[in-house]
Amino acid sequence: MNKIVKFSIDGVECLATRGQFVVDAAKENGIYIPTLCNYPGVKPKGGCRICTVKINGKLMTACTSPVSEGMQIENNANEINEIRKAIVELLFVEGNHFCPACEKSGNCELQALAYRFHVMAPRFPFSFPIRKVDASHPKIIKEQNRCVLCKRCIRAIKDYKGRSIFAYSKRGNRVEVGVDSKLGKELTDELAQKAMDICPVGSILVKEKGFYQPIGTRKYDKNPIGSDIENLVVSKP
């Protein structure tokens, strides 16, 4: 069976390997589909729904949907971008995000998505939840006010036996992600840094590392999120 499939995104013909997730196939074709919970090399979860696209007329998550021959995908359409914008706004009002005071400002994917979707003031009421800053671990601070529950840290930060060092605690709308009480000692300096880097917001911070990158040199200071993909010179497989 032919491994290469032909499909289209917003009417642009694309080629990819059969079974590749739509978000990765789009990237290879120089098309950006916004993501938040997804991370390269980490098993997709389909949790945040920012990557929502229309596949053959149905709303689906691009990070968990494999491409197939003849698929027609709508990505950069007003209706879809409005859904994404609403999700970003909901994430902002659900937590306590104060960008000017955040160590991850300029490197934060949620903030960068808000700029991309022109979020000025959220249309939804702020919930201002009471959440703690957990500084009990010797290497990291877990800032629960900023956590978007994307599970990237749970899925990617593992000890030498493959066990997740981060875990959920509590239930319902009080659910939090933190260092697992038994495996916290397995968080090496290297893994702590990886956790901080993989966190899309400023919820995992290596202690004594805040604000080390000057304004103007941070990841999204000059180039908006997605510009690295959209500017790709496309080489078809």
Q: Which residues bind to ligand FES, rule: CB under 6 A?
A: 35-38, 46-51, 61, 63
> What tokens does 127 get?
């919930």
Alpha carbon distances (Å) from 38 to 11, 63, 148, 208: 25, 7, 12, 28
| Nearer to ligand FES among residue 87 and residue 206 (C-beta) | 87
| Nearer to ligand FES among residue 38 and residue 192 (C-beta) | 38
| Nearer to ligand FES among residue 111 and residue 192 (C-beta) | 111
Contact 10, 71 (CB under 8 A): no
Place of tokens 């899925």: 155
| Nearer to ligand FES among residue 29 and residue 38 (C-beta) | 38
| Nearer to ligand FES among residue 18 and residue 49 (C-beta) | 49
Neighbours of 68 (CB within 10 A): 16
Please name the residue ranges forming H helices in 134-173. 152-156
Closest CA to 64 of 53, 72, 74: 53
Burial class (CB in 10 A: 0-12, 13-18, 19+), 62: buried
Cβ at position 44, least distance to ligand FES in Å? 6
Alpha carbon distances (Å) from 175 to 49, 78, 148, 178: 19, 33, 11, 10
Cβ at position 50, least distance to ligand FES in Å? 5
Cβ at position 233, least distance to ligand FES in Å? 25
Closest CA to 183 of 175, 192, 174: 192
> What tokens does 107 get?
């490197």
| Nearer to ligand FES among residue 21 and residue 206 (C-beta) | 21
Cβ at position 89, least distance to ligand FES in Å? 16
Cβ at position 27, least distance to ligand FES in Å? 12
Cβ at position 77, least distance to ligand FES in Å? 17
